[in-house]
Structure 1
Amino acid sequence: ESVNGNHPGSFYELEQKIADNPGNYRNIDIRIEYDGPPANAGSVTRLGDVNPVDRVPTEFIVKWVDQGGVVQERPFVNRN
C-alpha cells in the first residue's frame, strides 16, 4: 500500500501520469526487486517456486525516456 496507494509520490500516481500523457513516457522499463524467499518458503531457489501470496517486492525501479529524450528514473521502496 505504501508504494501503490492513491497518494502523492506513489507508483499509482506515476501510472496515472503515464495514462494521461503516454508520449512523455517512452521505453518504460520496470525492474522489481525481491528480498528472497520468505522464511516459510523452505529451500526454494526460484521466485516461481514461491507461493504468489508470499511474493512481496522490496523495490520497484522505473526508467523511461521523456519527450525531450532524457532518461528518467524513479525508485519506489516498499516499506512493508
Structure 2
Amino acid sequence: SVAVALTVLGAGFANQTEVRAEGVKATKNLSEEAKYAALRDENTGLRGDQTKLVKKLEEEQEKSKNLEKQKQELENQAL
C-alpha cells in the first residue's frame, strides 16, 4: 500500500516536471519569436536605408559624371 502510494506520488512528480519543462520551452519559443521579430524589423529598416543610400549614390554619380563632362568641355575650350 505504501509502495503503491509512493509510485503514484512519483508519477505525479514526473508529470509536474514534464509540465514545467513544457512551460520553459514555450517561454523559450516566445523569446525566440520576439528575437526573430526584432531582427525582422531591423532588417526591414536597414533595407529601407539601403534603398535610400543607393538612390543617393546614383544621384552623386550622375553629378560627378556631369562635372567631369563640364571639366572636359572647359579644358577643350582652353586649348
Please state which band the TM-score falls in when normalised by the shorter chain: under 0.3
Q: Which has the higher contact order (CA 8 A, sep 6+)?
A: 1
* TM-score calculated relative to the size of structure 2: 0.22
Instruction: Determine which structure has more spread, i.e. the larger CA radius of gyration.
Output: 2
Bigger strand share: 1
